Amino acid sequence: MNETIETTALNSIVQEDMAAIYGALTTQEKEKLRNSTVLITGCGGFLGYYFMHFFSTFSEELQLKRVIGLDNFLTGTKDWLDTLVESNPEKVELHKFDVINDTVADIPGAEDADLVIHLASIASPTFYRIYPIETVDANITGLRRLLDFYASKQLKGFLFFSSSEIYGDPFPEFIPTKEEYRGNVATIGPRACYDEAKRFGETLCYLFAQKHNMPIGVARPFNNYGPGMNINDKRLPADFAKAVVEGRDLEILSDGKPTRTFCYISDAITGYLKVMLHGSFDVFNIGMDQPELSVRQFAEIFNRKGKEIFDYQGQITFKESNDKEYLTDNPNRRCPDISKARNILGYEPKVSVEEGIQRYLEFLNNPKR
């Protein structure tokens, strides 16, 4: 999975996304970011790619003191991070760090962090099934150690990444799914290491917020995609993008009927920043609430956009996975109710799936543009 991703310091797609994220923040939210030290665990992954670029891009405007990136690079990538640090050495730094076993107190400047973003976790089912214990530990042990360290600090915000997976496979009457839904989740099975670790991580956040009055925001992401998502990630958008780039057929390892909503990365990051800057404990769905697309329909968009951008000639095909547990506990539908984030945070995703897939493929076609 550790395929090199080119730096996007000059990439027009990513630069436009950075501007869109910054523009979607309120004056009050920008003021809260100002003069901060930001610490990000799991900075080498997909979401870390955009967080690190965002804080580096606007480090002067926001007068950031320091951006500290931590990752053990078990599944993350490092080359683009090295380039990012080299381009902004006064503000951005990188440390190899195992959130499960290493001590954050040993990281220079970590005790001064005002904003903490805990991203460190494997999110792709293919890979968290290879590293199930590590996945549990990053979301529980690693989180607990961070919470213990920062419980007595004066934070502006602490962001924990939960997941829409905590809802399991919702019953039809609970779709679109609100934050109050308690879930239909298997405690034992191939996805349990991720689902249940995220659920217990939320409990830890709730307890620490109660006991220590910590400003913890919990985000539940729904199917993000876009530039920075490694094409070897093994999640659906990455699989389809990889097929287009390599000129292979778009293989669907199901009947193509399960449905999802898909949220482009700039809209997602905007939502996550708003959750972190909310200032008190709460839980928010962050994603796109429409349209709810079948896997087949999602593949058709990649097929169309692939033809426009790559002169793609592949077809949509169906086959059975060699992995007998590939579809075990896989939700049939996933669609968020984002009215809470809309009403409280002013969150409003704007990038359509058609536009988002086009932007992702254009980025992959010319990452240095």
The pLDDT confidence band at residue 1, using thresholds 50, 70 and 90, is: very low
**Whether 186 contacts 243, CB under 8 Å:** no
pLDDT of residue 76: 66
pLDDT of residue 369: 58
Q: Is residue 355 part of a domain?
A: no
Question: Quick check: 329 pLDDT over 60?
Answer: yes
Report the relative pairing of strands 333-334 and 259-260 from DSSP bridges.
parallel
- Report, as an integer, the average pLDDT of 198-218: 98
CA distance 288 to 354: 13
Domain count across the chain = 1
Tell me: the pLDDT tens digits for 54-92? 999 999 999 999 999 999 998 767 889 999 999 999 999
pLDDT of residue 4: 38
Q: What is the DSSP string of 315-360?
A: -EEE---S-TTTTTT--SEE-B--HHHHHHH-------HHHHHHHH
The pLDDT confidence band at residue 122, using thresholds 50, 70 and 90, is: confident
Q: Is residue 140 part of a domain?
A: yes
Q: Is residue 48 part of a domain?
A: yes
Q: Is residue 78 part of a domain?
A: yes
Tell me: the pLDDT tens digits for 274-323? 999 999 999 999 999 999 999 999 999 999 999 999 999 999 999 887 77
- Report, as an integer, the average pLDDT of 250-266: 94
Q: Is residue 256 part of a domain?
A: no
pLDDT of residue 55: 98
Q: Is residue 284 part of a domain?
A: yes
CA distance 86 to 95: 14
The pLDDT confidence band at residue 2, using thresholds 50, 70 and 90, is: very low
pLDDT of residue 285: 98
- Give the domain CATH number at 18: 3.40.50.720
Please indicate whether residue 194 is annotated as part of the active site: yes
Q: Which residue of the set 194, 272, 312, 347 is catalytic?
A: 194
Mean pLDDT, rounded, of the chain: 93
Widest pairwise Cα distance in the chain: 58
- In which domain, by residue range, is 93 found? 12-228+263-290+331-350
pLDDT of residue 6: 42
Model-level pTM? Answer: 0.94
Q: Is residue 67 part of a domain?
A: yes
Tell me: the pLDDT tens digits for 232-255? 998 999 999 999 999 999 999 888
Closest CA to 311 of 244, 368, 356, 249: 244
- Report, as an integer, the average pLDDT of 106-110: 97
